[in-house]
Chain A
């Protein structure tokens, strides 16, 4: 458990509501909400728009709760990294207990609301995703193994499954493929980032692949994970789960991803300031995920 003392807010000043909002990592939540919404839109069947909105709200609240609990636990780590030291807890703008109460309360509320308003399967997967992120990734893996983000990536892969389950009450092959796509996308995405912020992770003592195994092994593994990711991304087309709009777009999007991953895989650059290939792969990987899911929705709605 995190033990480093984090400054209490000055003069007993209660945390600002904006700090609670920041605790939910709104930028990460955008991607989670988007993939959840796509899972919901591509699912066969009908869901009342109010219940669809509620399902997406619950996914967002669940993600926000997991992010808050992650920051509660990692306040000492965040204080050591440039990228995270201005977050509410390490910056001393909020009491740690407030973050814990907020995270537990928001998480419990999101699950109960999902179960009562939408269905129990969606609520169960939401529970698993929150617990997976907090207990498996944050508490267990992150400080112990360079495989942290590989297994932890599953936590970010659940929203598409939840969106689908919210409509159908079942889990089927297409959302499982989307789960695998996000799962396999996570290593190249995060390892590209870790290559050019390596010193930050090293300073905080986080055993990221680039810190433990070096940049060369990290580059190679980022490239190797891209190969099954490309296969999984294209698979819905030959399996008849998506039409030609998705198929053609997926081939193009994955060809670019593969090209950028090859550049990263075979680069020998050691100076983070000069790591253009890694920055490009990181930036493109975000666009790639938005585009892949977006095109799949267009395709499924077009051929519905």
Chain B
């Protein structure tokens, strides 16, 4: 069954959810960059 069109309130809720997910994803990616850099240094020692 097709979903009904989202209301403006639904749109706002979706955007808010997407924003928070994007922020968390960015933080995780940044942490991984730092981790991979640290691993590279540690493996060279």
- Per the CB 8 Å criterion, the residue count for chain A at the interface is 14
B15-28 to A contact mask, C-beta < 8 Å, 1/0: 00110110010000
14 further A-B contacts with Cβ under 8 Å, apart from A12-B6, A13-B17, A16-B20, are A11-B3, A11-B4, A13-B10, A14-B14, A15-B17, A17-B21, A17-B24, A48-B42, A50-B39, A50-B41, A50-B42, A51-B43, A54-B35, A117-B39
B33 within 8 A of A: no
Find residues 84-117 in chain A having any chain B CB closer than 8 Å to their own CB.
117
Instruction: Give the docked Cα–Cα distance between A14 and B24 (Å).
Output: 14
The B contact surface, by secondary structure, is: helix
B13 within 8 A of A: yes
Residues of A within 8 A of B24 (CB): 17
Q: Is the CB of B14 within 8 A of A50?
A: no
Residues of A within 8 A of B17 (CB): 13-16
Instruction: Give the docked Cα–Cα distance between A35 and B43 (Å).
Output: 25
Residues of B within 8 A of A117 (CB): 39, 43
The A contact surface, by secondary structure, is: helix
A36-65 to B contact mask, C-beta < 8 Å, 1/0: 000000000000111100100100000000
CB distance from A129 to the nearest CB of B (A): 22
Selected contact of A51 from candidates B10, B14, B42, CB within 8 Å = B42
B interface bracket (residues with beta carbon within 8 Å of A): 10 to 19
Instruction: Give the docked Cα–Cα distance between A15 and B10 (Å).
Output: 14
CB distance from A138 to the nearest CB of B (A): 26
Residues of A within 8 A of B7 (CB): 11
Instruction: Give the docked Cα–Cα distance between A50 and B13 (Å).
Output: 39
Residues of A within 8 A of B4 (CB): 11
Instruction: Give the docked Cα–Cα distance between A5 and B35 (Å).
Output: 40
Who on chain A is nearest to B13 by CB? A13
CB distance from A205 to the nearest CB of B (A): 29
| Residue among B10, B14, B42, B45 having the largest count of chain A Cβ atoms under 10 Å | B42
Who on chain A is nearest to B28 by CB? A17
Residues of A within 8 A of B10 (CB): 11-13
Instruction: Give the docked Cα–Cα distance between A51 and B38 (Å).
Output: 9
Nearest 4 CB-CB pairs, A to B?
A50-B42, A48-B42, A17-B24, A11-B10
Q: Is the CB of A11 within 8 A of B13?
A: yes
Instruction: Give the docked Cα–Cα distance between A48 and B10 (Å).
Output: 49
